[in-house]
Chain A
Amino acid sequence: KAGVTQTPRYLIKTRGQQVTLSCSPISGHRSVSWYQQTPGQGLQFLFEYFSETQRNKGNFPGRFSGRQFSNSRSEMNVSTLELGDSALYLCASSLDSRNNEQFFGPGTRLTVL
C-alpha cells in the first residue's frame, strides 16, 4: 500500500509570491491534515479536511488556505509569502478525523527569500 505522497519536495520562492502544495493520502483515507514545522514553533496544525469539507482550522492567517478534492487529494495554498513562512509543510492522512492513527508524508520544504 503506497504511503502519503507530497509534491513538490522542495520549493524556493520570493516574498510576495504564492505557492500551492499537494498531498495524496493513503488509498481509502478520507481525512487529510496539514501541519507547519519550524525550529522555533515546532509542529503546528494548519487545517483538516474530510470529504471535501474543512472541519478544523488552526491559528494561522487567512493567507493559508486549502481544499480537498473528491478523490481525497488535498492542496494547500499560501498567498503573499513572508520570510517567516519558510518551513517544512507536512500532511497526514487517516481513515477519519477522530481517533484514528495519522500517517505522515515526507513533507515539502519551502524556502522564502
Chain B
Amino acid sequence: KQEVTQIPAALSVPEGENLVLNCSFTDSAIYNLQWFRQDPGKGLTSLLLIQSSQREQTSGRLNASLDKSSGRSTLYIAASQPGDSATYLCAVQATDSWGKLQFGAGTQVVVTP
C-alpha cells in the first residue's frame, strides 16, 4: 500500500531564505509525482509535475527533484517571499491506479518579512 510522507509538518523561515520541502513515498511504481500549493480554504494549485523517468523539473524559483529508487522528492523554493506562505502538498500517481493521486499530509510554510 502506497504511503506518502512529508516532513516537516510546518516550517517558518525569514524572507529571502531558500525553502527545502521533503516528500517520501513507499512504492516506486509510480507514473509521476506532483507538487501543489494550497492557500487556506482554497483549492490546490499545481506547481510542478515530474514524470517517473525525469530527475528534476524547474519553473521559475521552483525546482523539484525525484529519486524514484529511494522514494524521495524535494521541492526547492529559492529566495522565499511572504507570498510563498501556504501549505505545500506532494502527491503520487501509482501505475496500477486510474486517476487517483495519493497525497502527503502537507508542509505548512510561513515566510516572515
Q: Is A58 an interface residue (CB 8 A)?
A: yes
CB contact under 8 A between A43 and B100, given known A98-B31, A107-B43: no
Interface of A is mostly: strand
Residues on B with beta carbons closer than 8 Å to the beta carbon of A63: none
Nearest CB on A from B67, distance (A): 19
Q: Do B99 and A31 have beta carbons less than 8 Å apart?
A: yes
Instruction: Please pick, from B45, B99, B104, the residue contacting A104 in the complex, using a CB distance under 8 A.
Output: B45
Q: Give the contacts of A16-64 with B (CB-CB under 8 A).
A: 31, 33, 35, 42-43, 45, 48-50, 55-56, 58
Chain A: residues with CB nearer than 8 A to chain B?
Answer: 4, 6, 31, 33, 35, 42-43, 45, 48-50, 55-56, 58, 88, 90, 92, 94, 97-99, 101-107, 109
The 5 closest A-B pairs by CB, nearest first: A48-B99, A99-B31, A97-B99, A104-B44, A56-B98
